[in-house]
Amino acid sequence: MSSAAVRPSVPAVTRPRSRRWTRETTAVVFAAVLAAACGAAVPPSASTMDDRTLRLGYFPNLTHAPALVGIEGGTFADRLGPNVQLETLSFNAGPAATEALLSGGLDAAYIGPNPAINAFAQSAGEAVRIIAGSTSGGAFLVVRDGIDGAEDLAGTTVATPSRGNTQDVALRTWLAEHGYRTTLEGGGDVSVAPQENSQTLETFRSGRIDGAWVPEPWATRLILEGGGHVLVDERTLWPEGEFVATHLIARTDYLAANPEVIQSLVEAHIDVVDFIGGDPAEAKRLTNLGIEHVTGKPLATNTLDAAWANLTFTVDPEASSLKGSADHAVAVGLLDPVDLAGIYDLTALNAVLAERGRGEVAAL
């Protein structure tokens, strides 16, 4: 099979069913999450679900562009075929998606490293597997005027998308390295305030927060719409500037019961990542269309173009950075020490890459 990019069909196809994962929905599954966190089995309803349905989670962020392009372009639906119903659900941050995975409310998701690690740890290594990489880069600490270095942050309030999410861990780690104490309750030398990204833009513009460590496009929006500037580009904190921002994970029991569905999902994912590299203009259009469908408003062209330049799309899960993310979460008190052995299952990914004459991707 050729390794050339496969262009997803334009959105003339019927879009798969999609909905937001709300706080109310999260509350419904909370009891099941607690059971999963204690190492209990996934609820029976999850393991006996219709094997012709795939429930896929994602965020309306540019760091999730492969998900947005795959949905809007019809690539996922086309690869899965008429016998698999694709149901898509959007989230604001990783912890809510993790809850959905642990409760059996999702089968696969585009998600950041720390929520994936948390799901793996909470389920004693049973609940989820990383099946492919998706995005590297695209996270920044953006601050207001008057903050020009770490020394200016004492007494300030800095937002992150959610406590324990990837950017939250990155911020707390960076602050600790610069001598600042933070608490999970928002106290300490710098107050860390978890809030939804759309709220962060509002609170930054109003002066109620002093900065935020956020993924794209929110970092660029804080700059262009909020008058902020970059204090930290997270790429500068990792070897060769490469770290996983988003990868594709699957619930372990779904993966075992539906290997052919996961294989088709991975094929579509590779198609999409190849397509993004081959036709970035159309990929940006489809991504923005997906953001509009979820949020009700597309990104401004200048925001989209500026933020897109900060991202690298790759099926390599950047496994070397995952342990670093786990170590950081442990150091700031958000995670107990965890053995990550077994968190990757790249069987489908490497099988498809081999079929296309491309080299295998290594796990930990």
Res 21: pLDDT:
41
Res 1: pLDDT:
33
CB 132 within 8 A of CB 353: no
Lowest mean pLDDT among 22-31, 90-99, 247-256, 263-272: 22-31
Q: State the Cα–Cα distance between residues 277 and 112, nearest whole angstrom.
A: 21
**311 dihedral zone (left: phi>0; alpha: psi -120 to 50; beta):** beta
Whether residue 344 sits in one domain with residue 247: yes
Domain boundary among 179, 211, 240: 240
Whether residue 156 sits in one domain with residue 97: no
Res 30: pLDDT:
34
Q: Is the pLDDT of residue 119 over 50?
A: yes
Q: Is the pLDDT of residue 171 over 90?
A: yes
Q: State the Cα–Cα distance between residues 224 and 285, nearest whole angstrom.
A: 20
Res 28: pLDDT:
35
Res 19: pLDDT:
45
* CA-closest candidate to residue 227, choices 246, 247, 206: 206
Q: State the Cα–Cα distance between residues 261 and 251, nearest whole angstrom.
A: 12
- End-to-end CA, the chain: 28
Res 56: pLDDT:
98
Q: Work out how many domains the chain is built from and give that number.
A: 2
Domain boundary among 223, 240, 257: 240
Whether residue 145 sits in one domain with residue 106: no
Strand partners, 158: 192, 211
Residue 327 lies in a domain: yes
Whether residue 196 sits in one domain with residue 81: no
Q: Which residue has the higher pLDDT, 84 or 44?
A: 84
Residue 227 lies in a domain: yes
Determine the structural domain holding residue 151 and report its residue range: 139-240
- When the pLDDT of each residue in the chain is averaged and rounded to a whole number, the result is 87
Whether residue 236 sits in one domain with residue 170: yes
Whether residue 333 sits in one domain with residue 271: yes
* CA-closest candidate to residue 188, choices 155, 149, 165, 160: 155
Residue 275 lies in a domain: yes
Q: Is the pLDDT of residue 46 over 90?
A: no
Whether residue 113 sits in one domain with residue 34: yes
CB 299 within 8 A of CB 60: no
Residue 266 lies in a domain: yes
Write down the residue that tokens 């052919």 correspond to: 260
Residue 220 lies in a domain: yes
Q: Which residues contact 331 (CB under 8 A, 6 or more apart)?
A: 173, 176
pLDDT category at 95 given cuts 50, 70, 90 is confident
Q: State the Cα–Cα distance between residues 63 and 359, nearest whole angstrom.
A: 24
Whether residue 119 sits in one domain with residue 24: yes
Task: Read off the tokens for 266.
Answer: 């991975």
Residue 6 lies in a domain: no
Whether residue 198 sits in one domain with residue 84: no
Q: State the Cα–Cα distance between residues 278 and 73, nearest whole angstrom.
A: 15
Q: State the Cα–Cα distance between residues 118 and 72, nearest whole angstrom.
A: 29
Whether residue 130 sits in one domain with residue 24: yes
Determine which helix (DSSP H) or strand (DSSP E) holds 212, and give its type and residue range.
strand 211-215
Domain boundary among 215, 240, 265: 240
**What percentage of the chain exceeds 70 in pLDDT?**
86
Whether residue 278 sits in one domain with residue 129: yes
Residue 1 lies in a domain: no
CATH number for 166: 3.40.190.10
pTM of the model: 0.82
Residues 137-147 pLDDT 10s:
999 999 999 99
Res 94: pLDDT:
82
Residue 4 lies in a domain: no
Residue 256 phi/psi, 5° resolution? -70, -35
DSSP letters for 61-112? SGGGHHHHHHHHTSHHHHHH-TTSEEEEEE-SSHHHHHHHHHHTS-SEEEE-
Q: State the Cα–Cα distance between residues 137 and 279, nearest whole angstrom.
A: 20
Burial label for 62, CB within 10 Å (0-12, 13-18, 19+), is: buried
Residues 252-286 pLDDT 10s:
999 999 999 999 999 999 999 999 999 999 999 99
Whether residue 96 sits in one domain with residue 71: yes
DSSP letters for 3-66? -S--PPPPTTSPPPEEEE--HHHHHHHHHHHHHHHTTPPPPHHHHTS-TTEEEEEE-SSGGGHH
